[in-house]
Amino acid sequence: MAEENIKPAAGLMSCLLLTSTLQWRTCTSLPARHPSAPNSDACPALFRSLLLNITELVKSEILWHGITSETDAVSSPSDTVRACAPNIQLNSSCMINRNSSFSKSECLLNMKKDLLHYHAVIQSYLKSTHRRPKEQEALFLPTLRSIQNLQQKCSPMANNGQDLAEEEAYQRWGSNPFTNRLEMCKTMRGFYIRAITINRAISYISAAHHRN
């Protein structure tokens, strides 16, 4: 496939936001700001920073060069969408079903799984076969730093878990640079969707609506 420099479609951001809304089954009563953090005063800002960094990733000409597909893939094995859904009795229009009330610890645990998974995916991708390796490494560095800050300050993970996740993630990459980058584009769009869900969940936790 001949590569040509094509930017993401103008409607990509709005499309992804709509997809996120459908996955989250969000309710209009969810708070829009982060008045306080679940574990640290700095955590909401760090989660917002992660979302901003991923937003830049999905708009990058370096990552998008020659790719026209707008497919996304949420590859994380976590259950964040269900675990972090707000209490149904507080938000009657919500459509996610579960057998128990909102659990902050379960929600945060699934967020940790997301961070662990996507950190491993990015690290393994940078070790795989791809074009312009130095430029791509610089492109992903802000997102990696955001994840690492969150892991250290808001959701610590054991190092052995990180190593295992990276080993598993590495198995997805082949020897074709274009195919690897296409898969990474889809994965980062999925990460973008998941990051929106996580930020909404942090808003919900920070506003302490789950205690009502």
Looking up tokens 């997809």 gives 19
Q: Does 7 map to a domain?
A: no
Q: Does 4 map to a domain?
A: no
What is the band of 72 on the pLDDT scale with cuts at 50, 70, 90?
A: confident
Q: Does 191 map to a domain?
A: yes
Residue 64 · residue 182 · CB < 8 Å: no
Mean local confidence (pLDDT), 116-125: 91
Residue 124 · residue 135 · CB < 8 Å: no
**Structural domain boundaries, residue 122:** 36-211
What is the band of 191 on the pLDDT scale with cuts at 50, 70, 90?
A: very high
* pLDDT at residue 29 greater than cutoff 70: no
Average pLDDT over the chain, rounded to an integer = 74
Higher model confidence: residue 179 or residue 170? Answer: 179
Mean local confidence (pLDDT), 128-140: 88
Highest mean pLDDT among 9-18, 100-109, 176-185: 176-185
pLDDT at residue 36, as a whole number: 37
* pLDDT at residue 14 greater than cutoff 50: no
41 contacts: CB under 8 Å, gap ≥ 6: none
pLDDT at residue 210, as a whole number: 52
Work out the percent of the chain whose per-residue pLDDT is above 90: 28
Ranges 51-55, 129-133, 183-187: which has the least confidence: 129-133
Of 72, 160, 70, 161, the C-alpha closest to 114 is 161
CA-to-CA dists, residue 173 to 79, 152, 166, 180, angstroms? 24, 28, 12, 6
Q: Which two tokens stand for residue 207?
A: 């506003």
Higher model confidence: residue 158 or residue 88? Answer: 88
Integer Cα distance of 202 and 77 in angstroms: 19
Q: Which two tokens stand for residue 86?
A: 């707000």
Q: Does 15 map to a domain?
A: no
pLDDT at residue 141, as a whole number: 95
144-162 confidence digits (pLDDT tens): 999 999 988 886 554 545 5
Mean local confidence (pLDDT), 47-56: 95
Integer Cα distance of 184 and 69 in angstroms: 12
Q: Does 20 map to a domain?
A: no
Higher model confidence: residue 105 or residue 3? Answer: 105
pLDDT at residue 188, as a whole number: 94
pLDDT at residue 38, as a whole number: 45
Q: What is the CATH number of the domain that holds 129?
A: 1.20.1250.10
Domain count, the chain: 1
Higher model confidence: residue 167 or residue 19? Answer: 167
Q: Which two tokens stand for residue 62?
A: 């370096």
Integer Cα distance of 165 and 120 in angstroms: 6
Q: Does 103 map to a domain?
A: yes
* pLDDT at residue 128 greater than cutoff 50: yes
Grouping H, G, I as helix, E, B as strand and the rest as coil, residue 141 is: helix
Q: Does 30 map to a domain?
A: no
Residue type, 188: M
Q: Does 150 map to a domain?
A: yes
